[in-house]
Structure 1
Amino acid sequence: MALNRLFASLAIGVTPSVISRKTVQVTAVRYASMPKPVKPKPGYGISYRRIVHFPEEYTVKPLEVTNLAGRDPVTGRVVAKGIGGGIKHKYHWISWVRDGPTEGPPQEEKVIQIIECGCRTSHVALVAVGDQLKYILATENMKAGDIIKTSRHLPRIPVRANEGDAYVLGALPLGTIVHCIEKTPGAGGLYIHAAGTQGTILRRQNDRIVVQMPSKRLFSFDERCMAVVGRLSNVDHGDTPIGSPQRNRWLGNRPRSGLWKRKDGRHGRKIRPPKPVKEIQARTNFPLPAVVMKMNP
């Protein structure tokens, strides 16, 4: 505040001698002793692209969204530089928990509508369960009117599941394509959400199920973890070209600075001539040195 008064007095023409030197020194020390603000870093599961305003109870009504443009909502500082602009989209709240009976026949659910969601890559399906509605991730061939099944029963013989059905991993045969796999039983689908991705059940190890992820890594899950059968929808998402810089801005991506070039920039890949040919030859036998025997050590 003292520095602000000093600058204000200079602006209106008051001489600095009016303000005491002690006030300036105390203010300078106070500013120097203040802790420096810590700039947050991207990652750690925090999204700096948008904030979704969730209500207290689950609803299928599209939710309002506040775009952050890569800034921290608390300090307003830029955290992620590549984010900015973009069209505002409504957010469809996905019900990640596919819960069904533990005994008896599976629960049947009907697909009402397939929706394109601007806040995620894969499509969304509106599903009716009894007198309730919920959103789930749509599979590749899912369409309106389909009947999908959900069950937490762990049978002795693997079941024959159709696309969109949700069963525990231990109930599915080897080689089944799955997505939306739970980390722990009852926690809700956590793995494999992106458009066109899938996992494959490879083998069983006692009460564990080994699944090959889209990254080709092998994860071992509990056999009671739920998984949805089939490949996720919007398969052509990764192969669709953006086409123009303006469409890239519609998607919420800011342009690059233009200073960095891939092939000849400061940190880019340099084009160098290939190395000379290296001759690979068989190892020649070289004579061993003569061994001289002596009587004294």
Structure 2
Amino acid sequence: MSFLHTVLKRIQSSGELRRLQLFEIHSSAFRNKCKDVDLPSNVGALAGKYRRIVLYPEEYTVKPLNVRNLGGRDPVSGRLVIKGIGGGIKRKYHWIEWKREGPKEGPPLVEKVIQIMVDWCRTSRIALVASGDRMKYILATENMKAGDLIRTSQHIPRIPVAAKEGDAYPLGALPVGTIIHNVEKYAGCGGWYVHAAGSCATIVRKMSDRVVIRLPSKEEVSLSQECMATVGRLSNSEHINTPIGSAQRNRELGNRPRSGLWQRKDGRHGRKIRPLPPVQTHDKKTEDDKPEVIQLSLKLDDLYHSKL
């Protein structure tokens, strides 16, 4: 201990400690050639926000909106957050009206379906509906077609209503067992659950002013009876069974390839290359290979007879 104490005192007295600190600071600045920014925190379920930014106008419109592709980078820091995003055909975005608002008393609001179309920024089809002098986009159901009339009401009657496909009612107004989608998490917040193609939720049971629904993931959630929901299953149910088909098609969808970085044989947890076992020789049996016969020379017959 005395030797180390002497060495430390020598370094401090000679000024070498200051030079070591300056060298450490310089070397760390040389190694870390990057901007000092914070990494994004929400990456898991909200990973879609690193694919594109939609340029929304101030007022709602049915005109296709321009987008800015991010390629998996954080829009603030510019760092690469998700590695599987990049390229793709630049598509227009259609502004979906997630809130289905209708009268709370009296007859429901009736809207007409103008057109069923494809939105390349989502999996399910969308429908252009109109009522009066206002048009909007909603998610299309499985059997919806142009010319259909859909109804929207926020009234909860004493007896459950017999809703048709595409109609929007509060959860408390629909009977148990109804197939629904675009369900609100809180009353008035807009559609929160069930947006993917071919998916649907089911009303399981009702408890006073709460309604329990089963999501496509088999999870059950309890919501307020005033939460709005749209009746029916979402369109394009064959999306999950449709293969991409080719690598070029996958690039058009905006998915970046990651091939060649890992191999099964020499990967970290892959199959290791080991030498083959030695060759085993199997010859045809000959007469010399007959089993040896063992004869016993000790006879105990007299012993057995005497005991009997």
**TM-score (normalised: structure 2):** 0.75
Query: Secondary structure of 1:220's partner?
Result: strand
Q: In the TM superposition, what is the alpha-carbon distance from 1:265 to its structure 2 partner?
A: 4.0
Q: In the TM superposition, what is the alpha-carbon distance from 1:104 to its structure 2 partner?
A: 1.0
Identity %: 65
- Number of aligned residue pairs: give it: 248
Q: Is the 8 A contact 2:38 2:77 kept in 1?
A: no
Is 2:44 aligned against 1:43? yes
Amino acid at match of 2:39: K
Q: Is the 8 A contact 1:62 1:92 kept in 2?
A: yes
Q: Give a deviation string over 1:41-85, Cα, whole Å, max 9, x none.
A: 523635110010000110000000111111112222211000011
- Give 2:206's aligned residue: 204
Q: In the TM superposition, what is the alpha-carbon distance from 1:174 to its structure 2 partner?
A: 0.6
Structure 1 pair 261/208, CA: closer, same or farther in 2 (3 Å)?
farther
Structure 1 pair 197/29, CA: closer, same or farther in 2 (3 Å)?
same
Q: In the TM superposition, what is the alpha-carbon distance from 1:187 to its structure 2 partner?
A: 1.1
- Give 2:136's aligned residue: 134
Query: Secondary structure of 2:251's partner?
Result: helix
Matched ranges for 1:98-247 at <5 A: 98-247=100-249
Q: Is the 8 A contact 2:37 2:77 kept in 1?
A: no
Query: Secondary structure of 1:249's partner?
Result: helix
Structure 1 pair 262/48, CA: closer, same or farther in 2 (3 Å)?
farther
Q: In the TM superposition, what is the alpha-carbon distance from 1:263 to its structure 2 partner?
A: 8.8
Structure 1 pair 261/217, CA: closer, same or farther in 2 (3 Å)?
farther
Q: In the TM superposition, what is the alpha-carbon distance from 1:130 to its structure 2 partner?
A: 1.5
Q: Give a deviation string over 1:119-175, Cα, whole Å, max 9, x none.
A: 011111000021100000000010000000000000000000000000000000111
Q: What is the distance in 2 between the residues matched to 1:264 and 1:257?
A: 15
Amino acid at match of 1:43: G
Is 2:94 aligned against 1:92? yes
Structure 1 pair 31/262, CA: closer, same or farther in 2 (3 Å)?
closer
**What root-mean-square deviation, in Å, do the aligned CA atoms of Structure 1 and Structure 2 show?**
2.7
- Give 2:6's aligned residue: none
Query: Secondary structure of 2:71's partner?
Result: coil
Amino acid at match of 1:160: A
Query: Secondary structure of 1:246's partner?
Result: helix
Q: What is the distance in 2 between the residues matched to 1:97 and 1:189?
A: 6
Query: Secondary structure of 2:50's partner?
Result: coil
Is 2:266 aligned against 1:260? no
Q: In the TM superposition, what is the alpha-carbon distance from 1:250 to its structure 2 partner?
A: 0.4
Q: Is the 8 A contact 1:63 1:93 kept in 2?
A: yes
Q: What is the distance in 2 between the residues matched to 1:79 and 1:169?
A: 38
Greater C-alpha radius of gyration: 2
Q: Name whichever structure is richer in helix by fraction.
A: 2
Q: What is the distance in 1 between the residues matched to 2:93 and 2:146?
A: 21
Structure 1 pair 137/268, CA: closer, same or farther in 2 (3 Å)?
farther
- Give 2:286's aligned residue: none
Query: Secondary structure of 2:93's partner?
Result: coil
Structure 1 pair 239/31, CA: closer, same or farther in 2 (3 Å)?
same
Query: Secondary structure of 1:109's partner?
Result: strand
Q: Give a deviation string over 1:161-206, Cα, whole Å, max 9, x none.
A: 0000000000001110000001111111111000000000010111
Structure 1 pair 31/251, CA: closer, same or farther in 2 (3 Å)?
same
Q: Is the 8 A contact 1:114 1:144 kept in 2?
A: yes
Structure 2: which 5+ residue stretches go unaligned? 1-21, 273-308
